Amino acid sequence: MFHLGSDEVREFRENGKKVIKLVRVRNGENPAAMWYKYKNPAIQGFNYFIGFLCKGLPPLEIKNSMYRLIGVKIGRNVAIAPDCIIDPLFPELIRIDDNVIIGWGTRLYTHEFTQNTVRIGTVHIKKNSLVGEWSVVRPGVSINENALVAAMSFVNMDIPRGFVEGGVPVHVIGRSRTNASAKRRKLRRRTRSR
pLDDT tens per residue across all 194 residues of the chain: 455 555 665 665 556 666 666 777 777 778 888 888 788 899 999 999 999 999 999 999 999 999 999 999 999 999 999 999 999 999 999 999 999 999 999 999 999 888 878 888 999 999 999 999 999 999 999 999 999 999 999 999 999 999 999 999 998 888 877 654 555 555 555 555 55
Show Cβ contacts of residue 131 under 8 Å, excluding neighbours closer than 6 positions: 100, 101, 102, 103, 106, 125, 137, 143, 149, 155
CA distance 133 to 158: 18
φ, ψ of residue 146 in degrees (nearest 5): 60, 25
